Amino acid sequence: MLSKMDTRLSRITIDPAVCHGKPCVRGLRYPVESLLELLGSGMTPDEILADYEDLERDDLLAVLEYAARLARTRRLQATGP
């Protein structure tokens, strides 16, 4: 049985024919990267959903879960002294 997180993550699709293969939400040409930038700019999920009517709240949660998984699995190199 799929957990709720796995079900949400299935909303993130990667298709070479859509947005040059960037991870997108449900193949709708909304790249994960762009939605993260909107959230990072201070837009609320409600504001994003109002601007992009074909998105759903679970799409934004999937974007955040996808980013959390990437952050957990990538080793970042520290910069500076």
CATH number of residue 40's parent domain: 1.10.10.10
Residue 78 in domain: no
Q: What is the pLDDT of residues 34-77, one digit of tens each?
A: 999 999 999 999 999 999 999 999 999 999 999 999 888 656 66
- The radius of gyration computed from the CA coordinates of the chain, to the nearest angstrom, equals 14
| Closest C-alpha to 2, from 35, 52, 11 | 11
- What's the pLDDT score for residue 7? 85
Token look-up 């009517």 returns 53
Domain count across the chain:
1
Query: What token pair was written down for 44?
Result: 């609320």
Average pLDDT value over all residues in the chain? 89
Domain span holding position 19? 4-71
Across residues 14-31, what is the average pLDDT?
Answer: 95
Q: In the chain, what's the furthest Cα-to-Cα distance?
A: 47
Residue 77 in domain: no
